[in-house]
Structure 1
Amino acid sequence: MLYDWANSIYVAVVMTTLLPIFFKSVTADYGLSNSVADSYWGYATSAATLLISLFAPLLGALGDYSNMKMKIFKTFFYLGVFATGMLFFSSSWRYIIVFYMISLVGYLGANLFYDALIVDVSSSDRMDKVSTYGYAVGYLGGSLLPLAAVILFLLRGDDFSSDLNPAIKISFLATSAWWFVFTIPMLKNVRQVYSKEKEPHLVRSSFGTLYRTIKNISSYRSVFLFLVAYFFYIDGVNTIIHMAIIYGTTMGISNLTLIGALLVTQVVTIPCTLISGVLAKRFGSDRIILSGIAVYIVVCILAYNLQTDFDFWVITVLVGTSQGGLQALSRSYFGKMIPKESSNEFFGFYDILGKFAAIMGPALYGLFSQITGKSQYGVLSILILFVVGGAVFLYASSYEKRRSRQSV
């Protein structure tokens, strides 16, 4: 849970708020149009997620061997912390893009193994609760530093035009330090419980394991169907996380509203994530996941028609009601379906589908924005991801229920 607290600050500052605002101001100084800047940000996000996605299954298979989860986790964790700190020294939009991409690779790679560790720290009957509590703690941690940044922002006035603005520069260093310090308890105390014995030539053995898993995936039909659904709907969630501030800036939403909306999202998400865990226990996690997808469909429609700051606030609140619950319950829903001794291998596929989809979403947004010259069509293109993902998940959950009844 403390690692959720630690890394959520990266999402809040680098992925979703201060860095996108700062990037747009710098690109404006270089004479880039809003639609072109939006496209570059989308392409950079897609490229970084593509890189980690290509290696996620292999890394997952490798991580299933004894004591490998934490070793690989640490490698990506240190990479992400370093690159985030280097954003402090970036003064051109090109350097910003480079270090953003490196930091995103570190964040995504570390999360692959953090997600997989849920089977090592929780029993199946407690997994929904542990997962939702983790996300709630993460959103709580992710709101504190942005709040401090808002205070600095207000004291200095509504001006992000200078790349020397201390409020922005210091936030990147503070994010790097926060991420590192609050990860220390996990580095010291979390250990891999479920694993396979190491074999000679680990990389070669991991390729063999990966091949066998792909070959036999049809025997886990419920898992396969869920992953297809997850591929689509989590793509929409990740795209909105990555592109919301960029889109809001393009649509003329004030910087104060953009940052304030982030805080509202965090505040709303914390209790709603906890509530989703309670509701999942009573009504079933599949129904709560479907309701979250439905909310995001509404969000896409409202975003297409975005005109005022008030509209942005409404969208923000709706996202807050569903974002954490959808992420947390998807993780625990999947964790309860897979064999624990192969958890990292399966979570490698879980992450590659989620992250590979996140390549498609931002790229789709950037493409439609660049072709039409209007970012509204970029955000509208995300709608189909939720529709397809929701339809497949509805079928997948129905199949799983039928299979469970037959096995009984």
Structure 2
Amino acid sequence: MSHAPGGVADLRPLEHEKDQKAWYWYDWANSAYTTTIATVFFGPYFISLAENAVGENGRFDVGPFSMPPGSLFFWLITVSTILSAILLPPLGAYVDRTANKKGLLAFFAWTGAAFASLIFFATGDNWPLAAVGIVMGNLCFGAAGVINDSILPLISDEANRDRVSSRGWAFGYLGGGLLLVLNLAVYLGRDAIGLDEGLAARLCMLSAALWWAGFTLIPFLKLSNYPPIEVAPVEGNALARSFGQLASTLKDMKNYPMALTFLLAYLFFNDGIQTVIASASVFGAEELGHPQEILIATILMVQFVAFFGALLFGRLAARQGAKRTILMGLVIWMVIVTVGLFLPEKNVPLFLIMGAAIGVVLGGTQALARSYFSLLIPRGKEAEYFSFYHAMDRGTSWFGTATFAIVLAITDSYRPALFALIFFFVVGGLLLTRVDTERGIREAGNAVPEVI
């Protein structure tokens, strides 16, 4: 056992291990929302609600613009990222000033789950209620994600950051996959238990909201709280201090150019990743003609492949560094969207192969991006920096979904819309090559691990 100065035993590694085990459970909890709601069921279900409102071949007219129901779905996701960009940074500043991070984590998770539950009550042509559920659910999901990720540097040192982040992502994919197995059984067996297709889909989405809320109890009860450190000395009440700290951080960001360069790279390549995730089930159903059963089975396979992919990328990062491993993953993403341009309709084996490729890189690139960014940011401002990070995170991509929607509206085809996302992987990868990892870690005042 290591010892602290003065001969006293250093119990921090044991405390960190306990907190890490509790922290993993939030990834387990929230992955059900990502998988069951955001990836599998919501897109097709929302489009069916919108089609009921305008007719199967109808279009929505918004000012001078006309769009099909499928395009409306992607604009909806774009709205949620605009709200995130506005609201998450001041939230991050507030989180950095409080010790009760696990309480705030639970608050936003439970609020998001409550909004997501509204989707269950959206039937017929009531797409506005479903829209409120997904936009507010995404916003709370992002807020909880800011808090969750800001806890990572508090419970792991620099040398173990990639390992802890990768295990969290892997554990999350197991949780999301397990619930999807149960939902697959309900959805495929809906006739035997007397459910119509719409009710079965709504029950599956409701189960994800309840799963998210229920398992959040574990980190809420088990995580330790850590006092704020090195926060900006700003006067006023909590809200005023938060905005004051945010202003101070914005002025100070120029001192961390590597963190800013990575954040810009992440904006691009993560938008590509998130748009692929958000469009996967809609692409498979609308463009390739696969039934919902095949889509659910494919996403289920992706979950379990992603479990091993996250662990694999964590091991690769331990050998060759996170930056090189992320770049390798981006090359694979480029291949995936290119293959999607030529994927034949109703060819299940090739669709499954494409899904497996997504699974390999999905968890790994996201887990390493989280841990890599944490090395480039200063202590005491983790939540603030992760708030900017999360303004562009899961299901809240802005440029990616907007690009997809525009190309879809112009071409009326999902294939060129998917292929257009290669731009985001190319630009993100090029920007990532400009990040000097060791310089960034030193600028942030963090310890440089042996392998970077």
Cα distance in structure 1, aligned partners of 2:216 and 2:438: 38
Among 223, 231, 239, the alignment partner of 1:203 is 239
Determine whether 1:324 maps to 2:363.
yes
Q: Which of the two has higher C-alpha Rg?
A: 2
In the TM superposition, residue 273 of structure 1 has moved relative to its aligned partner by: 0.6
Q: 1:66, 1:192 within 8 Å by CA — same for their partners in 2?
A: no
| Greater RCO (Cα-Cα under 8 Å, separation 6 or more) | 1
In the TM superposition, residue 60 of structure 1 has moved relative to its aligned partner by: 0.9
Stretch of structure 1 that moved more, 235-244 or 207-216: 207-216
- Residues 73-88 of structure 1: matches in 2 within 5 Å? 73-88=105-120
Gaps of 5+ in 1: none
Residue number in structure 1 paired with 2:77: 45
Stretch of structure 1 that moved more, 366-375 or 32-41: 32-41
Among 90, 93, 97, the alignment partner of 1:61 is 93
Gaps of 5+ in 2: 1-23, 59-66
Among 419, 423, 431, the alignment partner of 1:384 is 423
Residue number in structure 1 paired with 2:170: 136
Cα distance in structure 1, aligned partners of 2:201 and 2:396: 30
Cα deviation, 1:96-155, whole Å, max 9, x if unaligned, reads: 222121211121111111111111222222111110000000000001121112122222
Distance change in 2, residues 1:361/1:20 (3 Å): same
Among 13, 26, 35, the alignment partner of 1:3 is 26
Among 170, 177, 189, the alignment partner of 1:155 is 189
- Residues 8-407 of structure 1: matches in 2 within 5 Å? 8-30=31-53, 31-33=55-57, 36-91=68-123, 92-156=126-190, 164-165=198-199, 167-196=200-229, 200-251=236-287, 252-307=289-344, 308-354=347-393, 358-396=397-435, 399-401=436-438
Cα distance in structure 2, aligned partners of 1:337 and 1:33: 50
Q: 2:120, 2:202 within 8 Å by CA — same for their partners in 1?
A: yes
Cα distance in structure 1, aligned partners of 2:56 and 2:135: 20
Stretch of structure 1 that moved more, 144-153 or 268-277: 144-153
Distance change in 2, residues 1:247/1:164 (3 Å): closer
Letter in 1 for 2:428: G
Q: 2:261, 2:431 within 8 Å by CA — same for their partners in 1?
A: yes
Q: TM-score, normalised by structure 1?
A: 0.92
Cα distance in structure 2, aligned partners of 1:60 and 1:356: 19
Per the alignment, in what secondary structure is the counterpart of residue 16 of structure 1? helix
Cα deviation, 1:227-278, whole Å, max 9, x if unaligned, reads: 1111100111111111111111111122221111101101111111111111
In the TM superposition, residue 309 of structure 1 has moved relative to its aligned partner by: 2.7
Q: TM-score, normalised by structure 2?
A: 0.83
Letter in 1 for 2:338: I
In the TM superposition, residue 7 of structure 1 has moved relative to its aligned partner by: 0.6
Aligned residue pairs total 403
Q: 2:40, 2:296 within 8 Å by CA — same for their partners in 1?
A: yes
Q: 1:88, 1:172 within 8 Å by CA — same for their partners in 2?
A: yes
In the TM superposition, residue 342 of structure 1 has moved relative to its aligned partner by: 1.5
Identical counterparts, % of pairs = 29
**Two-structure CA RMSD over aligned residues (Å):** 2.5
Q: 2:265, 2:428 within 8 Å by CA — same for their partners in 1?
A: yes
Q: 1:81, 1:180 within 8 Å by CA — same for their partners in 2?
A: yes
Cα deviation, 1:272-296, whole Å, max 9, x if unaligned, reads: 1111111101111111100111111
